[in-house]
């Protein structure tokens, strides 16, 4: 049986997209190092990212950007990213980290703490986090002064201080506490973006 793990990265930041990934492996698949991405070092995650993308039966990464997050709210934007990721892979059962089901044609199961319980969800968490962290490094160069390359858009003291001093930039989520400015009507830089093997 092919199991599709689904997880997200970037629900809490003040800037950048929310990213969901789907990773498909056989039910019997195991790997001693693939576990919750937050428990791994950046170097370990990068190495495992390459392993997962080379060895998964299929995988996909979807990013939903700040304007869509403002329009839908972060929960619905996350569920949209998850749904679009699942639509791009082939599996028999979908395992979703957390307690929120998604609109999905495949059988699905939500699993609280799933990134510690199912290697497929752990693999998805690694894909989502590595891809998003790399994007935020690039946005740090494009929008200097905010430190995106250091905190990936999360609400650190330094990030909040930069928003006060510089004002928000295009990739800030303007409906989030800590940013909270009128929503502009520009196109969504990341709406929605599919990455990798479309399975």
Question: Based on the number of CB atoms within 10 Å of its own CB, is 156 exposed (0-12), middle (13-18) or buried (19 or more)?
Answer: middle
Instruction: Kindly indicate the confidence band of residue 97, based on its pLDDT and cuts at 50, 70 and 90.
Output: very high
Q: How confident is the model at residue 3 (pLDDT cuts 50, 70, 90)?
A: very high
Q: 2-133+185-195 domain in CATH 3.30.420.10?
A: yes
Domain-wise residue ranges, the chain = 2-133+185-195
Question: Average pLDDT of the chain?
Answer: 91
CA-closest candidate to residue 96, choices 83, 157, 192: 83
pTM for the full predicted model: 0.89
Tens of pLDDT along 56-83? Answer: 999 999 999 999 999 999 999 999 999 9
pLDDT digits (tens, 9 = 90+) for 127-160: 999 999 999 999 999 999 999 999 999 999 999 9
């Amino acid at each position: 049986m092919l199991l599709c793990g689904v997880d997200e990265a970037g629900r809490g930041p003040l800037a950048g997209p929310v990213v969901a990934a789907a990773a498909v492996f056989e039910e019997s698949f195991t790997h001693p190092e693939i576990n919750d991405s937050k428990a791994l070092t950046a170097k370990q995650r990068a190495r495992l990212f390459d392993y997962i993308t080379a060895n998964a039966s299929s995988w996909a990464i979807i990013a939903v950007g700040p304007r869509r997050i403002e329009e839908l709210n972060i929960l619905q934007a996350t569920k949209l990213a998850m749904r679009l990721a699942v639509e791009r892979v082939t599996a028999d059962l979908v395992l979703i980290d957390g307690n929120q089901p998604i609109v999905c044609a495949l059988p699905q199961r939500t699993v609280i703490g799933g990134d510690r319980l199912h290697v497929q969800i752990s693999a998805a968490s690694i894909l989502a986090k590595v891809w998003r962290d790399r994007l935020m490094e690039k946005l740090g160069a494009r929008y200097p002064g905010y430190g995106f390359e250091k905190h990936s858009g999360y609400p650190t003291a330094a990030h909040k201080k930069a928003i006060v001093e510089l004002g928000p930039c295009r990739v800030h989520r303007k409906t989030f506490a800590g940013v909270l400015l009128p929503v502009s009507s520009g196109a969504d830089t990341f709406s929605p973006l599919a990455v990798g093997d479309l399975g």
